[in-house]
Amino acid sequence: MNVQLFTTPSTYEYLFFYIYIFILGTCLGSFFLLLGQRIPRGEDIVKKRSHCENCNHALAFWELIPLFSYILLKGKCRNCHEKIGFVYIGFECLSGILFTSTAFLLKTTNETLVAWTLLSLLLIITVTDITAQKIPNKILLPFCILAIIERFAVQQLNPWWFAPAGFAVGFGVLLLLALLSKGGMAGGDIKLFAVLGIVLGPIYIMITLVLASILALVYSIGELIIKKKLRKHIPFGPFIAIGSWLVYCYATGQFNDAFLLFFGSKI
Ligand SMILES: [Zn+2]
């Protein structure tokens, strides 16, 4: 007689699973904020307790739980009542939403693991590039190793050599641009493109470059119109992050699936 250990999960069980992923995603977002702020400054990640930036009050364990603590504390520090920036809670929620939507659209496939790795890298470098204008090797190197392992052992690209080819194209083209623009491209951007190339392959990494450049250009023009001033250096990292995530979602069919879900037909 066949004994069925696991039956197909019910809608409620799925709902529970996605709520769990969302909470996990917000906690990861909170951790990425900490990593992104501390690594460029060379601060210790483990030893130093999380604290209020204003009064240095060390946060209790429950104050570290994103969203929950924000609502409970009404967005203020428990000690000095200084307002906690909305950007923090926004970043944590965005992180939760992205982790959940990817899990929902890719289902529990091997690619979900690659997607979450990519998402983690992009969220961290967005923080480091905005706060410190840096994409540190300490972050790029572990993600580079992870990307190689995942693209060879977890979910290969089709054909498999698209991963090393993507690395070469990402690194090569950005290096060429850096040489041509005489330092207009930072070293961190070049290495980031090499890592993204492993995940995306040679074709999608080129599309990412074009899309990220267009986004940065549109942003610069917008800033010029509003502030009537052109900044000398705009961090490219956040645009690479948005561009590569959009390209990745397109490449893995997530847009199609989302469209199908909401409108009942493919794009
Ligand atoms: Zn405080």
Domain boundaries, the chain: 1-108, 134-267
How many Å lie between the centroid of ligand 1 and the Cα of residue 137?
32
Distance 52 CA to ligand 1 centre (A): 5
Q: How far apart are CA 36 and CA 32, in angstroms?
A: 6
Query: Residue 76: beta bridge partners?
Result: 83
pLDDT score of 242: 98
The tens place of each residue's pLDDT in the chain, 267 residues long, gives 556 666 777 888 889 999 999 999 999 999 999 999 999 998 888 877 888 888 988 888 888 888 888 888 898 999 999 988 889 999 999 999 999 999 999 887 899 999 999 999 999 999 999 999 999 999 999 999 999 999 999 999 999 999 999 999 999 999 999 999 887 778 899 999 999 999 999 999 999 999 999 999 999 999 999 988 877 788 999 999 999 999 999 999 998 888 888 888 776
Ligand 1 centroid to Cα of residue 80, in Å, is 4
Residue 5 has what pLDDT?
Answer: 66
Contact at 8 Å (CB) between 69 and 63? Answer: yes
Find, among 116, 66, 63, the residue nearest to 87 by Cα: 66
Expressed in angstroms and rounded, the spacing between residue 25 Cα and the centre of ligand 1 is 25
CA-CA-CA-CA dihedral for 191, 87, 222, 246, to nearest 10: 50
Q: Ligand 1 centre from 151 Cα, in Å?
A: 44
